[in-house]
């Protein structure tokens, strides 16, 4: 029997095939796989390509179960993913999990702990010794996503425009925002943002420029990352309190594309905030396997319980 894990991200889709012992037998990579940010036709093709690559040397009928990791499953995408997989692997059982659940396994291997995902969006998810779980944040870019790439990108654009107006001190972000949008004036930026079909991705894409400016010594950009670290630390605190975790050493982990892109600056900032909150030094853990492999392990474990 074989088991497949699929990580459907906003920019890429990854599939991992494992056997009954958890040994990786195949991998596949493709384009965007999140229906919240890409057309259905693109998502369908990305998932199909990644799956077929992972299965290139194996028979489809051998796949017993498939676990899909995706953001936005609470928004009703579960049935959509099940339909896509049934077209490729009609005899396999399909399990759809939130990306935060799979990220937790990738970091803690089913043990207690709290993981924070800092991608384009953000969410914290934790499990205690009793098996009780909780999530903090994850409310989307319009009303949440603090500490995420979108949040940092938005704050960077806001600060850049305020500096342009003379409402705040000069910052490198003003020049970078013009560069990012290929604009000559801020007026062009506004038109681009408000006419965009995917403003979340567009605004979130400015986050690397905030990180770049911070590395170059820009105090405004650095303060944005410091505020992001505070928001992330607050989410950890809230999750720990709700789970009743008294000692969180070795129980906090972080992942996500934005985090890894800003890790050099962001990790020490977050750990500093955590020390202030909890009163002792905490070293953040990171995934020891990919989310796609973690999804495959969830598929394996789920079938073993049946």
Query: Which among 28-37, 49-58, 81-90, 274-283 has the top mean pLDDT?
Result: 274-283
Compute the distance between CA of residue 75 and CA of residue 35 in angstroms, rounded to an integer: 10
Please report the pLDDT score of residue 152 as a whole number: 97
Do 69 and 78 form a contact (C-beta atoms < 8 A)?
A: no
Whole-structure pTM value: 0.90
| Domain containing residue 49 | 2-104+289-305
Give tens-digit pLDDT for 258-301: 999 999 999 999 999 999 999 999 999 999 999 999 999 999 99
User: Per DSSP, what are the bridge partners of residue 137?
Assistant: 123
| Angle, helices 219-243/257-278, rounded to nearest 10 degrees | 70
Q: Is the pLDDT of residue 71 over 80?
A: no
What are the two backbone dihedrals, phi and then psi, of residue 198, each rounded to the nearest 5 degrees? Answer: -140, 70
Query: What mean pLDDT is predicted for residues 80-91?
Result: 88
The answer on 131 and 215 residing in a single domain is yes
Query: What mean pLDDT is predicted for residues 118-123?
Result: 90
CATH number of residue 56's parent domain: 3.30.420.40
Q: Is the pLDDT of residue 72 over 70?
A: no
Query: For residue 215, how far is the Cα from the chain centroid?
Result: 23
The answer on 246 and 195 residing in a single domain is yes
Give tens-digit pLDDT for 3-16: 999 998 877 899 99
| Angle, helices 149-165/186-194, rounded to nearest 10 degrees | 150
The answer on 120 and 85 residing in a single domain is no
Nearest to 257 by CA among 24, 1, 34, 18: 34
Which 3 state secondary structure label does DSSP give 278?
helix
Core vs surface per residue 169-207: b (16+ CB within 10 A) or e: eebbbbebbbebbeeeebeebeeeeeeeeeebbbbbbbb
The answer on 234 and 217 residing in a single domain is yes
| Count of structural domains within the chain | 2
Q: How confident is the model at residue 77 (pLDDT cuts 50, 70, 90)?
A: confident
Q: How confident is the model at residue 95 (pLDDT cuts 50, 70, 90)?
A: very high
The answer on 183 and 39 residing in a single domain is no
């Amino acid at each position: 029997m074989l088991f497949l894990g699929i990580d459907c991200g906003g920019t890429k889709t990854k599939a991992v095939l494992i056997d009954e012992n958890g040994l990786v037998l195949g991998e596949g990579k493709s384009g965007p796989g999140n229906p919240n940010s890409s057309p259905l036709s693109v998502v369908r093709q990305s998932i199909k390509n990644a799956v077929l690559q992972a299965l290139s040397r194996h028979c489809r009928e051998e796949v017993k179960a498939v676990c899909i990791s995706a953001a936005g499953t609470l928004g009703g995408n579960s049935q959509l993913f099940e339909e896509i997989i049934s077209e490729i692997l009609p005899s396999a059982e399909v399990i759809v999990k939130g990306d935060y659940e799979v990220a937790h396994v990738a970091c803690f291997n089913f043990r207690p702990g709290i993981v924070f995902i800092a991608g384009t969006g953000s969410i914290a998810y934790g499990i205690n010794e009793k098996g009780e779980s909780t999530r903090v944040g994850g409310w989307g870019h319009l009303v949440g996503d603090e500490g995420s790439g979108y949040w940092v990108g938005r704050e960077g654009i806001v600060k850049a425009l305020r500096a342009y107006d003379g409402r705040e001190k000069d910052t490198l972000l003003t020049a970078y925002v013009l560069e990012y949008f290929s604009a000559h004036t801020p007026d062009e930026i506004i038109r681009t943002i408000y006419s965009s079909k995917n403003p979340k991705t567009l605004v979130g894409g400015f986050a690397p420029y905030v990180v770049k400016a911070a590395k170059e010594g820009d105090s405004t950009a650095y303060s944005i990352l410091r505020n992001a670290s505070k928001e992330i630390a607050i989410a950890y605190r809230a999750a720990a309190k709700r789970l009743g975790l008294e000692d969180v050493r070795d129980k906090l982990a972080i992942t996500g594309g934005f985090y890894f892109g800003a890790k050099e600056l962001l990790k020490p900032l977050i750990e500093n905030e955590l020390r202030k909150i909890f009163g002792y030094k905490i070293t953040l853990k990171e995934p020891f396997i990919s989310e796609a492999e973690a999804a495959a392990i969830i598929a394996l474990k789920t079938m073993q319980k049946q």
